[in-house]
Amino acid sequence: MRILVVGSGGREHALCWAIKQSPLCEALYCAPGNAGIAEEAELVAIGAEDIDALVGFAKDQAIDFVVVGPEAPLVLGLADRLREEGISVFGPSAAAAALEGSKAFAKEIMIEAGVPTAAYGEFSDADAAKAFLDDQTLPIVIKADGLAAGKGVIIAQNREEADQAIDDILVAGQFGEAGSKLIIEEFLEGEEISFFALMDGKSAVALASAQDHKAVGEGDTGPNTGGMGAYSPAPALPDDRRSEIMELVIDPVAETMAARGTPFQGVLFVGLMMTSDGPKVLEFNVRFGDPECQVLMTRAMTDVLTALMATADGMLSSFDLRWKDEAAVTVVMAAEGYPGSYKKNTVIAGVEKAEAHDQVKVFHAGTTNSKAGELLSIGGRVLGVTATGEDVKAAQARAYQAVDQIDWPDGFCRRDIGWRAV
């Protein structure tokens, strides 16, 4: 089979790495990819949101199957366009991708499906939003409705911060069209878990548990990021609780979306807060998490390509996913200053030394090669140093041994990834 993966981050590197191992994969392309993905796939100079060019390439190159990594092209309708051309694709339609593209729509589906979630209000007028705050308990969560590159969520600790967030989003237009309306949501306390399920429009299969670390600082302190590391399995979500989440969240959402005529086909990523009142949904994403994808792909025993194809073909009811007993840990190395401003095109050395360690794979997220052949950083989160071990503690130790082989003065990482499990 001829496969095209769309995207350029650590998630897409992990997907390419896993797909390449399938005996069904004859040719693998990635658009646009990165320096690490170039070792797994032939890079194609097409942006992930250039829908026309991606569809044209898939047709011209007789691509059999497309795997869409990021959310933006899904929200823009890439999967719909490919299906119209008769090309099989892993990823939901634009109508189903609205579960991530619009937080208001996601809340609407949660309520309709009876999924437990935080109490909320939806607003497009700043004065009405502030009036709603008069009766709310602080801290409170304020979210831009649309896609905001992971930056549209503000946890306001006091009324001044809440009013400022509302003005920034609705009046100043900080997030553009993504902030034409916002959600004000009850603040939930507990342990946050990432839950993933493959859904083919009718059936669903849970993936292994994973937990990421969103805060930039050790001990989960400082501003939130796209994820500073992840580990799997997550002790906070044992197998019996996974069954509970399938019954409580995944199955009702699948039924509701199908009843609306917009069945969900792809991977649904549920952000869960394990509260004292039970699990509650924070948000839906319509793609694999990054860096959770790295630990999941590393632990997969099942041929990943066949799992993605079964999802696209509506064949999950007879599909079984298997996982290695070993744990996996991914430590993200980011550019100094992230999630604020940071330098680009800084030189990274030692990745080969890191990968010389047994059971270590370094996934690239924001890298390119210079004309001289040097590895350069071009993003905020740049590398995902991933290791496996008999348990999270062993995988963690191996990952940090590999991190210490990488020579990147302009980079940093958290030193406590996996601390909840260890």
Query: Domain boundary residue among 318, 345, 369?
Result: 318
Residues 376 and 305 in one domain: no
Q: Phi and psi of 110, rounded to 5°?
A: -55, -45
Residues 134 and 204 in one domain: no
Rounded Cα distance, 299 and 232, in Å: 8
Model confidence pLDDT, tens digit, residues 212-224: 999 999 999 998 8
Q: Is residue 354 part of a domain?
A: yes
Residues 279 and 350 in one domain: no
| Pairing between β-strand 65-68 and β-strand 2-7 as defined by DSSP bridges | parallel
Domain with 345 in it: what CATH number? Answer: 3.90.600.10
For residue 177, CA distances in Å to 145, 164, 387, 388 come to 9, 18, 40, 42
Residues 231 and 157 in one domain: no
Count of domains in the chain?
4
Residues 208 and 296 in one domain: yes
Largest CA distance in the chain: 61
Residues 307 and 332 in one domain: no
* Sheet containing 347-348: order of strands: 347-348, 375-377, 367-369
Residues 200 and 314 in one domain: yes
Contact (CB, 8 A) for 70 and 48 = yes
Residues 274 and 214 in one domain: yes
Residues 209 and 272 in one domain: yes
Domain with 161 in it: what CATH number? Answer: 3.30.1490.20
- The pLDDT, as a whole number, for residue 223 is 86
Q: Is residue 100 part of a domain?
A: no
- The pLDDT, as a whole number, for residue 238 is 83
Contact (CB, 8 A) for 285 and 210 = no
Domain with 40 in it: what CATH number? Answer: 3.40.50.20
Q: Is residue 222 part of a domain?
A: yes
Q: Is the peptide bond prior to 32 cis by the omega test (within 30 degrees of 0)?
A: yes
User: 322, 326, 378, 320: which is closest to 348 by C-alpha?
Assistant: 378
Q: Is residue 117 part of a domain?
A: no
Q: Is residue 278 part of a domain?
A: yes
Give the range of the structural domain holding residue 308, as residue numbers without chain letter: 191-318
Find tokens 């990594």 and name the residue: 69
Contact (CB, 8 A) for 232 and 328 = yes
Model confidence pLDDT, tens digit, residues 12-48: 999 999 999 999 999 999 999 999 999 999 999 999 9
- The pLDDT, as a whole number, for residue 324 is 96
Residues 39 and 140 in one domain: no
- The pLDDT, as a whole number, for residue 178 is 92
- The pLDDT, as a whole number, for residue 150 is 73
Written as six digits, the tokens of 13 are: 């590197």
- The pLDDT, as a whole number, for residue 188 is 96
Written as six digits, the tokens of 70 are: 């990021």
Find tokens 């996982």 and name the residue: 323
* Whole-prediction pTM: 0.96
Give every residue of the chain whose pLDDT is below 50, as ranges.
none
DSSP states of 258-276:
HHTT---EEEEEEEEEEET
Q: Is residue 169 part of a domain?
A: yes
Domain with 272 in it: what CATH number? Answer: 3.30.470.20
Q: Is residue 421 part of a domain?
A: no
Residues 236 and 172 in one domain: no
